[in-house]
Chains A and B, each alone.
Chain A
């Protein structure tokens, strides 16, 4: 059941009880529900929602911490109009979008193939599942460090393996060119998260009733037809939810880039630029404005997927 389906269910419940009060039984249920919720609601409002609103408020101010004499005046949307003319921000936005699309597409393709392969009983399946959880569990900052070493121009494993396989003639400094850095970041990200995708999709595959395949086989369908007409439609909402998580994560990318390239060679993401504006240049107003843009894009992506997931559920 998706989040959207939960909403429609919630409103149905509300319609069944048009009167606010209901039976004593329902009233006690309502009261208990709120009592159990209150601590969470207060905390979430105080330390997550309020700061987010405050970021928006800060973004409307001129606030450079090294210049407290300015009095941090309210300047309206000036930070945002500066962003429009800031080539660095535009470059970061384009890079982040490109990184998001490329990694998510690759992760989906690889995750889907791996999940389809693992969706059968075979010797060592438990071991395989555990093995592919390892990249997911290692902190991104640490895997970024590992990959940085692997891409090293002289001692790295990447050059060694590629030259032994005859793919490259001479060692390359992967992290010193724009295309090399982009590819290196994409590989490191896909390595870490494709397994996560595979596990989520695998769980979706395992919920499909095997009888569907049996009867389709009796009808003389090909394996390809069964994949396209049975498997894919049935895992569509699972895949969409997994894609949602991955897209949001990819767009706010920070750890991987900060550790591996530190934004060099055109690999500065929006989060990294916002972070630097605040913590390096101490420009909290401008940095907050950049952060708000990340926030708006992330929420937009979320709403877009929610709509897609909603329509998928209605088709069922």
Chain B
């Protein structure tokens, strides 16, 4: 009895430490964002703000164009997600369920392309976007994002389609429904949860992308959130207060997304990684 209690306590302590470490950096940012400048630079650190204020949050939107950054990120990530799903879902169905010569090798190629290091495509993409005048445009970032998000969408969708029971297509074939028609009218509606999971993962990946955004969006008004934040420190000052407030503002929507759709995200992660 005592041993079990001790074991249980140890277990909960371990879990608590794990959770605290996961959240502490973020909580620290939240606390910093409402401290006064004096409190931020006090030694030893002042953990709990005595005079909480929202000035840094005002700065995020008045001194820095964070609304614009968020809008840019939203446009690029949303367009990338919709395009990847529109194009990738049908390829995922084909590779996940239909039988044809070359299916296995093609799946490997798709998986391989999704693992390309972004740096490997950087120079030709930059030269191309520069030549056609697409630097600092939404299209000029969506195109590079498709390079990693489309293979990812295809791979995940192939795995989601594989999980559906076989009978649906047989029944559709008996009813005289054509292959393509079966896909659009029966299989695609059935795989909606998978589409949703895939969409979430592609969206978060695009929202978080850094190296292409840094390279292809050099004008301040076209920058995305991660690049905008990384540009806050200048040679002259480190505006910790503004940076903390900005961090909170741009990550809260993501955290809300994660908390609300936890199950869908985990299902997406594990479908690609485990049952893949």
Binding site for B on A (CB under 8 A): 1-3, 6-11, 13-14, 17, 25-26, 28-37, 39-41, 43-44, 47-52, 54-55, 58, 114, 117-118, 122, 124, 126-135, 137-147, 149-150, 154-157, 160, 163-164, 171, 191, 195-196, 199-200, 203-204, 207, 238, 241-242, 245, 248, 251-252, 254-255, 258-259, 270-271, 274-275, 278-279, 284, 287-288, 291-292, 294-295, 298-299, 302
Assuming the A-B contacts A141-B210, A141-B230, A195-B22, are A40 and B150 also in contact, with contact meaning beta carbons closer than 8 angstroms in the complex? Answer: yes
The 21 sampled A-B contact pairs (Cβ below 8 Å) are A9-B104, A31-B179, A32-B94, A40-B88, A44-B109, A132-B19, A133-B265, A137-B255, A141-B208, A141-B229, A147-B25, A149-B243, A156-B45, A160-B44, A207-B274, A242-B273, A251-B117, A255-B226, A271-B119, A298-B117, A302-B115
Residues of A within 8 A of B40 (CB): 155
From A122, A258, A288, B11 is in contact (CB under 8 Å) with: A122
In whole Å, how far is B265's beta carbon from the nearest beta carbon of chain A?
A: 7
The number of inter-chain residue pairs (CB within 8 angstroms) is: 318
Q: Is the interface of B mostly helix, strand, loop or mixed?
A: helix
Assuming the A-B contacts A140-B208, A149-B243, A242-B273, are A298 and B115 also in contact, with contact meaning beta carbons closer than 8 angstroms in the complex? Answer: yes
Residues of A within 8 A of B266 (CB): 129, 133, 199, 203
Residues of A within 8 A of B178 (CB): 28, 32
Q: Which of B231-276 contact A (CB under 8 A)?
A: 232, 240, 243-244, 247, 250-251, 254-255, 257-259, 262, 265-266, 269-270, 273-276
Q: In the complex, A133→B263 CA distance in Å?
A: 11
Q: Is the interface of A mostly helix, strand, loop or mixed?
A: helix
Q: Is the CB of A245 within 8 A of B25?
A: no
Residues of B within 8 A of A288 (CB): 123
Assuming the A-B contacts A30-B100, A139-B207, A199-B269, are A191 and B274 also in contact, with contact meaning beta carbons closer than 8 angstroms in the complex? Answer: no
Give the contact-size bracket for chain B: 35 or more
Closest A residue, CB atoms, query B115: A248
Assuming the A-B contacts A199-B270, A271-B119, are A29 and B226 also in contact, with contact meaning beta carbons closer than 8 angstroms in the complex? Answer: no
Assuming the A-B contacts A32-B98, A157-B45, are A295 and B117 also in contact, with contact meaning beta carbons closer than 8 angstroms in the complex? Answer: yes
Binding site for A on B (CB under 8 A): 11-12, 14-15, 18-19, 21-26, 28-29, 32, 40-45, 87-88, 90-91, 93-95, 98-113, 115-128, 143-144, 146-148, 150-151, 154, 162, 173, 178-180, 183, 204, 207-208, 210-211, 214-215, 225-227, 229-230, 232, 240, 243-244, 247, 250-251, 254-255, 257-259, 262, 265-266, 269-270, 273-276
